Homo-oligomer: A and B are copies of this chain.
């Protein structure tokens, strides 16, 4: 997200606090005080304030009425809604791509990514290249949004997607390479194909609803983790922040 090279205290604090919040170090609702944080991170209050301001922008912190910040609380229902919201927004992107903007060149690029994704699957249903898939999947979703041709929509999708558990890659980290998720990828890839086809034939409504359904794979994976395999919670980016 940010450059790893030369950095400022603000960026260091931003990344460190983000990491700790997503790691669940601060339960939702915890108030973050400037002075102790400044002492902990060995910097002054100024960059701390700036970093917290940006974390509020990202949706990880809430501002209190009379100053100060608290860690935002997320329930399971909130995460499900965030995923549903992503589905709605990506669905809109897909619809707009179909209705307005998709050019032959753009469709070509989409199909190119699609073929690379296809190449991730082996003959055995359980054989998936879990190294290459996540990055290509991210490319596909980014490209989809680009093809919508709407800068406003792109911005809002990037925003909504900044909460890690709402990202299209939420269940694709290396640590969640388990059978259930791996098998869901076959369904996901079929949806990718259908999405590209719908956009190519200008079927806006079809594209919109395939994208929504596509996001619901994440919903199913989330429900699986929470209800049937809670020890995986720490493996999914941001889920440690849950409940409070």
Contact = CB atoms under 8 A, between A and B. Distances in A.
A193 interface: no
A152 B53 contact: no
B160 A81 contact: no
Contacts of A89: 88
Interface in A86-107: 88-89, 92
A82 B151 CA distance: 10
A54 interface: yes
A85 B53 contact: no
Given A56-B57, A88-B92, A92-B88, A150 B81 contact: yes
A160 B155 CA distance: 11
Q: How many copies does the complex hold?
A: 2
Interface in A40-93: 49-50, 53-54, 56-57, 59, 78, 81-82, 84-85, 88-89, 92
A232 interface: no
B85 A156 contact: yes
A194 interface: no
A87 to B, nearest CB: 9
Contacts of A54: 53
Contacts of A136: none
A188 interface: no
A156 to B, nearest CB: 6
A64 to B, nearest CB: 14
A240 interface: no
26 contacts: A49-B50, A50-B53, A53-B53, A53-B54, A53-B57, A56-B57, A57-B57, A59-B155, A78-B151, A78-B152, A81-B150, A81-B151, A81-B152, A81-B153, A82-B152, A84-B92, A85-B92, A85-B152, A85-B153, A85-B156, A88-B88, A88-B89, A88-B92, A156-B156, A156-B160, A159-B159
